Amino acid sequence: MTMKKLQMRYKGSTGKKHTLSMSDINEQLDDQTVREQMTAIATVGLFEKDKELLYAQPLAANYSETIITPIFNDEELVDEAGVAGADTSQAAADATTDLEDPATTPEDTVPQN
């Protein structure tokens, strides 16, 4: 599965760069339309943090694709009561053990004097 986002880069009022990302976008937008909308966002000045206007000057825009490769999907098994037919406490303990690096022991992670 692939997800696309529109990423819009701005310079804030203090000179820092910020990215505004949007999902579920029209992938056929031209540069003029995106520039106009970015300018409108900057003009309105709604986004402020710590006395900085975050999206003060449009700099760039691009589409970004993320490829999602599922490993498993148990969403169908989950109901209002939780996971049907699974003991999640033991499963979580087993998963933690299985993900540990067998070459690393607890002694390896503690600094030696």
Only one residue has tokens 């409108």, namely: 40
Q: Which of 35-49, 53-67, 98-112 has the lowest mean pLDDT?
A: 98-112
- The chain-wide mean pLDDT, for the chain, equals 81
Rounded average pLDDT over 58-69: 95
Share of the chain above pLDDT 70, in %: 69
Mean pLDDT of 29-51: 95
| Confidence (pTM) | 0.61
Tell me the two tokens of residue 21.
């990302």
Band of the pLDDT at 110, cuts 50, 70, 90? Answer: very low
Residue 47 backbone zone (phi > 0: left; psi -120 to 50: alpha; other: beta): beta
Q: DSSP letter for 37, please.
A: H
Please give the Cα distance from 36 to 39 (Å, whole number): 5
- What are the pLDDT digits (tens) for 71-98? 998 887 775 446 555 555 555 555 555 5
